[in-house]
Structures are given as C-alpha cells and as structure tokens.
Structure 1
Amino acid sequence: MGFLGDIGSFIMTPLYYVVSVVLVGWHELFGALFGEESGASWALSIVGLTLVIRAALIPLFVKQIKSSRNMQLLQPKVKELQKKYGHDRERLTQETMALYKDTGTNPFSSCLPLIVQMPIFLALFRLLDQAAKKGKGHGILSDDRAQLLANAKLFGGEISSTFLNADVTVVKVIAIVLVIAMTATTFLTQRQLMSKNMPDDALTGPYAQQQKLLLYILPLVFAVGGIAFPIGVLLYWTTSNLWTMGQQFYVIRNNPAPNTEAFRAKQKRDAAKGKVDAAAGTVTATVVEEERRPATRQQPKKQSRQQRRGSQSGQSGPKNPSPKSGSTDQGDTK
C-alpha cells in the first residue's frame, strides 16, 4: 500500500502544483475585486482554471476530431473486413489494426481528452476535498488560503460542500442543478457528434455501438457520482462541458465529415453564399461598367423647314438698309 501511495503521490504532486498555480493566480485577480473570502471570487477562479485547462487541450481536441472522422470514413472498409474475415476473429483483428495503422487512426483517441482531464479533475477534487475536511493546501495553495476556499460561501452554502454532506437546502438545490447541468451537457455533446457529424453507414457496427454506449453510460456515471462532488468540482465540470459543446459545434459547422448531415448543411450554406456573392459581384460589375461608360451626347430635336427658317431669321435680326438704297428712296420722294 505504501508503494502504491508513493506512486500516486508521484503522479498527483505535479498536478497539484499545476492546478494550484492557475487557481491561485485567478484568485489573486478576482479576490482583489470581490474579496479574498468571497465565494464569487473562488467560483470565478475555478471557471478561469477550467478555461485555461481547456485552451491547453485544444491540440488534443483537434486530434480527437480528426481521428473520429477517420474512424467514421473507415467504417465501410471495416465492414468489408468483417465480411471477409468474420469467421477468423484473430485475422479480423490483425487486418483491422493494420488498417488503422496505415491510415494513422487511433480508435481510442476519441476518449483522449477525457482521459487527460481525469487526473486534473481528480487533482481539483482532492484539492477541494482536503481543503474542506482538513483545511490542508496542496501545491502553492497554502493552508490559510485552503481554509478560505473551504469556508467560501456561494448562494449561502460553502463551495466545498457536496449534496451528501450539505446542511443547507439551498446548497442541495445548487448541487442538484449543477449535477443535472453536468449530465445534460455530457449527453448533448455526445449526441451532437452522433446526429450531426457521423455518416449513415457509420451508425452501425462496433464503433457506433461504442459511441452509443458512451452516449448513455457517461451521463449516468456523472449523474450518480455527481452527488458526491463538491460544488466547486461540479462548477468545473459543467463549465468544461459547455466549452466542449461550443468548440465541437464550431468544428462540426465549419469542418464537417463528408456524407453527414452537417456536411450537407454546410454545402447548402456555401451554395446560398455563392449565389449572394455572385449577385453582389454582378451588381458591382454593372455599376463599374456604368461609371466607365462615356456620357452620351444629346441629339438635337428634329425641326421642320419652317421652324429652322424662323430660328435662323430670329438669330440674324433685322438688316440695316444700305446708304445707297436710302439715298435712292430720298430721291424718289423728291
């Protein structure tokens, strides 16, 4: 038991330092705004811790999405192998693993972010649990600060309380709400992946069965175990699930797997956007062409011969009589 304890301490001690550094760093910020003993400062610090951890896990999430897509696209080939080597389980396993290796696909990578998060989740759980029961700190979280965390109140209840040990009804209500939120977000995240980003032929077979199993088993596990989690841990996990939902929605919407509902929806959006862009380009080209076109000269109106003579006479005006004709007239008068 001592040997196993030493191994556990060897694994958990670095995680305690990582979690406590981020948690204390956020608490320095929010504690200056809301007070060091405020439950709001500790709750926001846990949310900040969650965001930092999830941001650090983005490369793993991208790898998970790519591997999950490869698994979906490989399902027709896996079915062919099952038909060909279904009578020989050992040969089927060898051929399937060779297919995964050739395509660089890891069938377990879909669980990788969850597996990586579990030690961090456990470290946070132990951090809050030890602070609540013994006022003991870990990492750079001192005993005094751990006592502040244990006694910090959120909506009238201590942030380190669980549904099982809470004496205040409000705390039980908060815990139940967070357990339901954690369970619902876990289910919706997995459901979103299966309904939007899995082709029809991938909804059958062993991989689909694995996904369906995770769809119902994981929320059930969190629902049962959630009543023993401190409120701070429930807050961490619910925030993490919300991050996953938003991140997954963005990836599925903008980079869906081929032959899926999300892929067809993206094609429709791109087609509609292309029509709008084409229409806008046509209007722009027309406007530019009109601006470049030289102004047309206005043609004179057609006039009759009489109108032209009248206008010419009006423009020239009355003619002055010549002196010669004037002298002749005078002579005639005489």
Structure 2
Amino acid sequence: MLDPVYYAVSAVMWCWHQLFGLLLGPSSGVAWALSVVFLVLTLRALLIRPFLAQVRSGRAMRAIAPQLAQLRKQYADDRPRLMQETKALQSAHGVNALGGCLPAVLQIPVFLGLLHVLRYFNRPGLTFEQNAAIPNYVFSPDQVRSFLEARLFGAPLSAYLSMPQQLLDSFGGHVERLDVAVVAVPLMLVAAIATHFSARHSAQQQPPDGPTASIMRFTPWIFPLGALVGGLFFPFPIAILVYWLTNNAWTLVQQRIVFSRLPAVVSPPAPVVAPAAPALVPATPQDGDPAVNRAGGGGGAKRKRHASGHRPSRRRR
C-alpha cells in the first residue's frame, strides 16, 4: 500500500546520491549521508507554503484567544452552541485547524518510507552477498552494495545501537558496536537538543490558554525523547538520526526567520458586557424645598385656594 511512498523516497535519495557520488565517490558514507540530508531539504522546501499557512493560522488563533475564552465561559453548559460559535469565530478570522497540522502530517509517510528503505538495504537473515544482489526499489544491486560498504566515521548508515552482532557483521565486514555508538550517541543528543528548541519555539507561538495550552507546555520535553529513546532502544538507524537532526534544524531556522519578520501579535481584549444602569426614581418633594415653596415676597406659607381650585387674585393698589 505504501509502495508509492517507498519509490518516491528512494527516487529523491537516488538523485542526490548520484550528485554527491560524483563528487565524493559512490561508496562514500558522507555522500550517502548528504543524500539523506537533501532528501529532508527537498521535502521541507515543498512544505514552505503549508508552513506559512500554519503560522498565519496559529497567529490568528493567538489573536482571538480572549474571545475564545469568553465563549468558553459564556457557553460552559452548552457544548453544541460552544462548538458552533467557536467554528464561526475561527472561520471569520481565517483559522484552519486542519491546515495547521498539514506539514507534520505530510512528514510522517516520508519518515516511515525512509525507515523502510534503509532497513531493506540490509535484510535480516541474508548475507552481504545476498543483499548486494537484490535491488532496493529504485536502487540497483550495485548501489545497494555501495550503501552496504559505505561508512560514516566507521559506522554503517543503516546500523543502530540495538542491532544484533550477526546483522552488524553482514555489512561486508566486522563492525564493532562501539563504532556505531560513537556516531549514534552524539547524533541522538544533538537531534534531541534541536527538537527541544524547535518545540519550545513553537509552543511560544500558541495561545497562552485554551484546550491545548497545557499540552503544549510539555512538548519541548516530550518530543526530544523520541530521538533519545528511539536511538537507544528501537531500530532507528544512523541515517534516521541524520534525518531527525536535519529536519529539526530546518524547523528551528525556519521559525527564527519567519517569526522575526512578522509583526508582534496584539490580542484584542475580550468583549465586556457593561452593567445595566439603575432605574431613576423621582424624588419626593419636601415641604422645605425652595423649588416648591416659591411664594410672593419669599414667604414660606402656601396661599389658600377657593373651592373651585383657583388662587385668589391680588388687587392692584
């Protein structure tokens, strides 16, 4: 089912190895390592536009964080209405939750494809001569032999720390586990550090509160474990560690460049409902109120009225 991915990954890697093989030699470990590095660079160059869309969506989400908090407070007991209002607010500000995950989702099949192609250079249960006689997707048998003979500072590119010694010896000669550790352990540590900084930089661009805020706080410490645990206990070849390091180094540099050129996010304040003004109650006039007791000559006594209700007129003297 994933054969198209395997062929695509191996084809890109083949193209770059043809170039670097002419410069450094077809069996050079550096040439094969550079083919993995430029496989990553090719993929990430194709994902620049989705990454920019992800950044815009994340910054828009950070800008509307106060409104989202107000909606969660207002519709705390009405989940369907909360979802409806949240989607409407996100749509109005250009927030695309699925688009924000697209770059990470597209990298998963490439990672799995590269892992599969690397493992098929040295198939378990076969000798060196048997593996060197079998093509590996777009790689011919001669190129498979070249890969098996290549060494990066003394270690095969598809070797890993927990690889059985019998499989290590099928690379065309005896390989010490120490030689693999000398290359794999520094790559693991540097890849974990690069992952930590890239994840921390990404977490700083997320809204400070929200459903995923608590999760994002721990990602700078959880994601690096993938490189450390995978390199120590799982069959992560040295070439996969090169891929991991290159990918996270690209992410870190790309984040620095893009975020430094974008203006700072200014979050508008959450809408505040003004309290209703109190109703005005008319004051009851008092007897001593000067507005009421206005009589001729400033007298305080009220003039008497006739039975008809009219006041007696004053005679002119």
Q: Which amino acid aligns with 2:226?
A: V
CA deviations over 1:123-171 (Å, ceiling 9, x no partner): 0110001112263544322233123223311111111101211643131
Q: Which amino acid in 1 is paired with 2:143?
A: R
**Length, aligned pairs only:** 246
Check conservation: 1:85, 1:92, Cα contact below 8 A. yes
1:226 maps to which residue?
Answer: 231
Contact 2:188 2:228 (8 Å CA) reproduced: yes
Alignment partner of 1:212 is 2:217: yes
Cα root mean square deviation, aligned: 2.0
Structure 1 residue 151 and structure 2 residue 122: aligned? no
Q: Which amino acid counterpart does residue 18 of structure 1 have in structure 2?
A: A
Q: Compared with structure 1, are the counterparts of its residues 223 and 98 closer, same or farther at alpha carbon in structure 2 (3 Å cutoff)?
A: farther
2:222 is equivalent to residue 241 of structure 1: no
**Contact 1:179/1:226, CA 8 A, preserved across alignment:** yes
State the Cα deviation string for residues 149-203 of structure 1 (Å, max 9, x = none).
23311111111101211643131132121122222211101212334x45xxx31
Higher gyration radius (CA)? 1
Greater RCO, 1 or 2 (C-alpha within 8 Å, sep 6+): 2
The normalised TM-score by structure 1 is 0.68
Quote the Cα distance in structure 2 between the aligned partners of 1:221 and 1:176.
13
In the alignment, what sits opposite 1:4?
Answer: none
- 8 Å CA contact retained: 2:161, 2:177: no
Shift of 1:108: 4.2
The aligned amino acid for 1:222 is A
Secondary structure at the residue paired with 1:206? coil
Equivalent residues in 2 for 1:2-151, closer than 5 Å: 9=1, 12-133=2-123, 135=131, 136-151=134-149
Structure 1 residue 204: Cα displacement: 2.1
- What is the TM-score when the length of structure 2 is the normalising length? 0.72
Equivalent pair of 2:121/2:147 in contact (CA under 8 Å)? yes
Equivalent position SS for 1:154: coil
Does the alignment pair 1:192 with 2:201?
yes
Counterparts of 2:53 and 2:33, CA distance in 1: 30
Distance 1:81 1:56 in 2: 37
Q: Which runs of 5+ in 2 are unaligned?
A: 125-130, 169-175, 268-317
Following the alignment from structure 2 to structure 1, what is the Cα–Cα distance between the partners of residues 97 and 254? 21
Distance 2:145 2:66 in 1: 57
For residue 41 of structure 1, report the CA deviation from its aligned partner: 1.1
State the one-letter code of the partner of 1:132: N
What residue is the counterpart of 2:191 in the other structure?
A: 182
Question: How far apart, in 2, do the equivalents of 1:95 and 1:216 lie?
Answer: 34
Question: Are the aligned partners of 2:135 and 2:144 in contact in 1 as well (CA < 8 Å)?
Answer: yes
Report how far residue 66 of structure 1 moved.
Answer: 0.9
Q: Find the aligned partners of 2:238 and 2:153 in 1 and give their Cα distance.
A: 11
Identity value in percent: 37
Look up the match of 2:298: none
Residue 308 of structure 1 corresponds to none
Q: How has the CA–CA distance of structure 1 residues 90 and 223 changed in structure 2, closer, same or farther, with 3 Å as cutoff? A: farther
Helix, strand or coil: the match of 1:87? coil
Give the 3 Å change call, closer, same or farther, for CA 137–211 of structure 1 in structure 2.
farther
Tell me: CA distance 1:194–1:57, structure 2 relative to 1, closer, same or farther (3 Å). Answer: same
CA shift, 1:213, in A, is 4.0
- Deviation (angstroms), 1:256: 4.0
